Amino acid sequence: MLFKQQALLRQKLFVLGSLAIGSLLYLVARVGSLDRLQPLCPIDGRFGPRSQDEIPLRALQFKRGLLHEFRKGNATKEQIRLHNLVQQLPKAIIIGVRKGGTRALLEMLNLHPAVVKASQEIHFFDNDENYAKGIEWYRKKMPFSYPHQITIEKSPAYFITEEVPERIYKMNSSIKLLIIVREPTTRAISDYTQVLEGKERKNKTYYKFEKLAIDPNTCEVNTKYKAVRTSIYTKHLERWLKYFPIEQFHIVDGDRLIIEPLPELQLVEKFLNLPPRISQYNLYFNATRGFYCLRFNIVFNKCLAGSKGRIHPEVDTSVITKLRKFFHPFNQKFYQITGRTFNWP
């Protein structure tokens, strides 16, 4: 009898002990496991001088959980005041290109403790109705952040919309602009796939890609088709260059971001003048998804939504060849302007 009671007691103690260790591990994870993996370094220069009340990165990391709650709207005015949180205009914008990997880039940059993302596409500069609401409306759409963090938003329609460069220039002529590109024909097919899925969801019929991309009368590439036009990167970039010098742009290789994201992210950190904080630890390949997913710490992981990484329809090889030939001279010009060469066929 006594032996049975002792065994029961030992079992209870074991369960309690496991719970205590589990909670401890959870707490350790929440305060940011990244700090244990990398040295701390200050953010310097480009985003303004360090001031007296700057919060060191370590503190930012500690408060990330809190920020997350605030961003979900779970903060009182008192908490916002107490923690000195602000809604800041973006210091960098991912302006495109649609289907280039803009969401993956934003989410991956958000792993950096000094970056805060605007989760939704705001469409302030490309939508006249929104733009008419004024810059304060735009600022109020931004997430709460600490004053020395930088806010980044992405709206891929900005890249191709005529009025946007001038409007962004008027807000901040020294803003950093990120453009993520993919091999133009693949991007066009990805663009088509997204529209096709939307049509199918609404039970609508849609044309085959080949029919849209090639003009049936001339048998040439149909430059009126939006998915084709968007992939003529140099044409759009040239409009932006009327307002911003090329040094204010950074081109991200979207094809490489899929298979080897870290080096691409490190280049962006450098461009934004952020200390290198995103590491291999933050990115792990998920075989089920077939893509890299994000690891914030030992507790919080996430993959992108299923709408990212769709299976593309088969496209006639002669159409692909024709498109590649069509994009070739534009690509050469794009390499020349940006100083970044890709192995696009």
Residue ranges at the known binding site for 3'-phosphoadenylyl sulfate? 99-103, 182, 190, 292, 308-312
Beta-sheet pairing, 144-145 with 249-253: unpaired
The one catalytic residue in 4, 63, 77, 99 is 99
Contact flag: residue 185 with ligand A3P (CB under 6 A): no
Min CB(304)–ligand A3P separation in Å: 4
Q: Which of 257, 278, 315, 320 lies at the binding interface for ligand A3P (CB under 6 A)?
A: 257
**Going edge to edge, which strands form the sheet with 301-302?**
283-286, 291-295, 301-302
**Among residues 29, 127, 281, 309, the one that binds ligand A3P under rule CB under 6 A:** 309
Q: Minimum CB separation from ligand A3P for residue 333, in Å?
A: 23
* Contact status: 268 vs ligand A3P (CB under 6 A): no
Q: Which is nearer to ligand A3P, 85 or 252 (CB)?
A: 252
Among 43, 85, 104, 122, binds ligand A3P (CB under 6 A): 104
Pairing of strands 249-253, 115-117: unpaired
Stretch that binds ligand A3P, among 97-105, 132-140, 170-178, 215-223 (CB under 6 A): 97-105
For residues 283 and 295, give the distance between their C-alpha atoms in angstroms, rounded to a whole number.
Answer: 6
- Angle subtended at Cα 246 by Cα 241 and Cα 252, rounded to the nearest 5 degrees: 110
Residues composing the chain:
345
- The residue (of 60 and 181) whose beta carbon lies closer to ligand A3P is 181
Give the number of residues in contact with ligand A3P, rule: CB under 6 A: 17
**99 in catalytic set:** yes
Binding residues: 99-103, 182, 190, 292, 308-312
Q: Would you say 38 and 282 are in contact if contact means Cβ atoms under 8 Å apart?
A: no
Q: How far is the CB of 169 from ligand A3P (least distance, A)?
A: 23
Closest to ligand A3P by CB, 144 or 192: 192
Least Cβ distance, residue 181 to ligand A3P (angstroms): 10
Residues with a known catalytic role: 99
Residues that bind ligand A3P (CB under 6 A): 98-104, 156, 190, 257-258, 291-292, 304, 308-310
